[in-house]
């Protein structure tokens, strides 16, 4: 059982006991009349062939409070798209597939690039952004929730708890981030445990207690892929096209709404999904690449607030990060021991050494090019430059789904 202590600058809504899913979903069904919400599922076609997605869809088939299920489908040929369309229609009454690499969406994507928008990095960030453009054109939708599609122990309570803070008038939040523990016989979540949190605390040591760093440090799992927000906020934020997606989203939310409108909610006791690898022979893949992308995103956010990141600060930050990471290893070693979990301290130490190298490389890359990979612009900017463009996306999606 979790505790209910509030020790950050945002509201924390832990899971106290087993809960009552039936009562929670009944309340959300009432809330849906005033705050209809869409569920966004970003996925590759290959994920629909695995057991995780099939389990998720089976659980979601009984949900009644979601206005529309939107699947952002990438890397799918037309026969695959049509097969998936027929399959999903048997499960959901209101479902739309945003066929990211389909001919209609490709033409719209190319038009935006021709207008000078930086959209030449395919991946999850772009898929989410394009699907958000479609949702922005749905006047009947007031909010959107997003979760990953590789959760192997998915439960309907996850979705109910994720959307509750933005749907319930008693809660009245504008953005909600999900969190959970990641473990079975050992601890997972290495990038969060051994890189992001130690890096944030190292930055606090070197830069002082900045409000933004206190905000980031309040999130129990800042890299979770689960969040929910009101559509008006979704249209105002930019998105990173790389592994910096989650951190950049938190930074954009910080800039566009008040701390009192931000919450985090515990979704489930433990969360299981596929695990990325650390391969020092391929530093542009897996968790090493993720750490580098996250660091560059964080550096960019800080400099936007006028923080000067000099070479001497980067050198100090690297040493301070290593100290924070070592302290974290000691804490997690004790946590694993008291819970009788397998804990390989040498492997954890090796991970932090690779993360430290990723941090060094990220600092060098940032010093050479502070702008780095540009963020995908907010939909408010697109609508200002190209009025009616979200309606064109909606028309394209409707045409794709009409067959």
Residues 403 and 401: their CA atoms lie apart, in Å, by 6
- Residue 1 lies inside a defined structural domain of this protein: no
Q: What residues contact 132, with CB distance under 8 A and at least 6 apart?
A: 40, 144, 234, 235, 239, 379
**What secondary structure does DSSP assign to 165-191, as a single string?**
HHH-TTT--SEEEEEEE-BSSBB--HH
Contact between residue 228 and residue 165 where contact means Cβ atoms under 8 Å apart: yes
**Residue 1, pLDDT score:** 46
Query: Residue 260 has which token pair?
Result: 């009192």
- Residue 56 lies inside a defined structural domain of this protein: yes
Q: In angstroms, what CA-CA distances link 126 with 180, 290, 390?
A: 26, 17, 15
Cβ-count burial 383-398 (b if 16+ within 10 Å, e if not): beeeeebbebbbebbe
Residues 248 and 293: their CA atoms lie apart, in Å, by 10
What is the average pLDDT value for the chain, to the nearest integer? 93
- Residue 158 lies inside a defined structural domain of this protein: yes
- Residue 6 lies inside a defined structural domain of this protein: no
- Residue 210 lies inside a defined structural domain of this protein: yes
Q: In angstroms, what CA-CA distances link 18 with 5, 24, 62, 192, 226?
A: 18, 12, 20, 26, 20
**Residue 279, pLDDT score:** 66
Cross-strand partners of 181: 270
Contact between residue 120 and residue 14 where contact means Cβ atoms under 8 Å apart: no
- Residue 5 lies inside a defined structural domain of this protein: no
Q: Which residue, among 269, 316, 30, has the nearest Cα to 155 in the 3D structure?
A: 269
Q: In angstroms, what CA-CA distances link 59 with 52, 92, 160, 227, 256?
A: 11, 11, 12, 19, 34
361 phi/psi in degrees, rounded to 5: -65, -40
Query: Residue 23 has which token pair?
Result: 């009562």
- Residue 307 lies inside a defined structural domain of this protein: yes
At which residue do the structure tokens 């996850």 appear? Answer: 158
DSSP 62: T
CATH number of the CATH domain containing 21: 3.90.550.10
Length of the chain in residues, anyone?
Answer: 403
Contact between residue 53 and residue 150 where contact means Cβ atoms under 8 Å apart: yes
Residues 263 and 240: their CA atoms lie apart, in Å, by 21
Residues 394 and 397: their CA atoms lie apart, in Å, by 5
**Residue 274, pLDDT score:** 67
- Residue 187 lies inside a defined structural domain of this protein: yes
Give me the domain span that covers residue 103. 11-398
**Residue 284, pLDDT score:** 66
Residues 312 and 39: their CA atoms lie apart, in Å, by 45
One digit per residue, the tens of pLDDT, for the chain of length 403 reads 467 889 899 999 999 988 789 999 999 999 999 999 999 999 999 999 888 898 999 999 889 999 999 999 999 999 999 999 999 988 887 799 999 999 999 999 999 999 999 898 888 899 999 999 999 999 999 999 999 998 988 999 999 999 999 999 999 899 999 999 889 899 999 999 999 999 999 999 999 989 999 999 999 999 999 999 999 999 999 998 888 889 999 999 999 999 999 999 999 888 776 666 676 666 666 899 999 999 999 999 999 888 999 999 999 999 999 999 999 999 999 999 999 999 999 999 999 999 999 999 999 999 999 988 889 999 999 999 999 999 999 999 999 999 6
pLDDT tens figures, 154-178: 999 999 999 999 999 999 899 999 9
Q: How many distinct structural domains can be found in the chain?
A: 1
Residues 190 and 192: their CA atoms lie apart, in Å, by 5
Q: In angstroms, what CA-CA distances link 291 with 187, 224, 353?
A: 18, 14, 12
Residues 94 and 320: their CA atoms lie apart, in Å, by 51
Angle, alpha carbons 206-209-214 (nearest 5°): 120
Cross-strand partners of 144: 38, 229
Contact between residue 138 and residue 68 where contact means Cβ atoms under 8 Å apart: yes
CA dihedral 156, 161, 167, 172 (to 10 degrees): 180
At which residue do the structure tokens 């959970």 appear? Answer: 180
Query: Residue 264 has which token pair?
Result: 């985090």
């Amino acid at each position: 059982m979790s505790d209910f202590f509030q020790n950050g600058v945002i509201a924390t809504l832990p899971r106290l006991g087993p809960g009552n899913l039936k009562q929670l979903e009944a309340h959300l069904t009432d809330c849906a009349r005033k705050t209809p919400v869409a569920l966004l599922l970003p996925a590759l076609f290959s994920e629909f062939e695995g057991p995780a997605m099939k389990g998720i869809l089976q659980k979601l088939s009984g949900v009644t409070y979601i206005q529309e299920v939107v699947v952002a489908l990438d890397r799918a040929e037309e026969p695959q798209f049509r097969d998936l369309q027929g399959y999903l229609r048997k499960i959901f009454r209101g479902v739309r597939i945003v066929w990211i690499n389909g001919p209609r969406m490709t033409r719209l994507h190319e038009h935006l690039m021709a207008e000078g928008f930086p959209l030449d990095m395919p991946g999850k960030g772009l898929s989410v952004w394009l699907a958000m453009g479609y949702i922005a054109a749905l006047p009947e939708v007031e909010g959107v929730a997003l979760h990953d599609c590789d959760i192997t122990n998915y439960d309907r309570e996850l979705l109910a708890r994720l959307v509750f803070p933005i749907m319930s008038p008693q809660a009245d939040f504008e953005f909600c981030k999900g969190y959970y523990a990641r473990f079975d016989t050992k601890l997972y979540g290495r990038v969060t445990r051994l890189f992001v949190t130690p890096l944030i605390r190292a930055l606090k040591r070197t830069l002082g207690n900045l409000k933004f760093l206190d905000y980031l440090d309040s999130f129990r799992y800042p890299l979770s892929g689960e969040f929910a927000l009101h559509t008006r906020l979704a249209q105002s934020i930019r998105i990173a096209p790389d592994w910096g997606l989650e951190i950049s989203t938190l930074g954009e939310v910080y800039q566009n709404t008040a701390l009192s409108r931000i919450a985090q909610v515990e979704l489930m006791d433990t969360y299981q999904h596929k695990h990325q690898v650390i391969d020092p022979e391929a530093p542009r893949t897996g968790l090493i690449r993720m750490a580098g992308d996250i660091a560059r995103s964080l550096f960019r956010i800080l400099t936007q607030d006028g923080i000067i990141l000099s070479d001497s600060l980067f050198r100090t930050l690297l040493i301070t990060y290593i100290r924070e990471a070592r302290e974290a290893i000691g804490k997690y070693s004790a946590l694993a021991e008291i819970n009788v979990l397998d804990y390989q301290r040498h492997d954890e130490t090796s991970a932090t050494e690779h993360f430290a190298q990723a941090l060094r490389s990220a600092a060098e890359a940032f010093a050479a090019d502070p702008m780095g990979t540009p963020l995908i612009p907010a939909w408010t900017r697109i609508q200002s430059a190209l009025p009616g463009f979200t309606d064109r996306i909606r028309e394209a999606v409707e045409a794709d789904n009409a067959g």
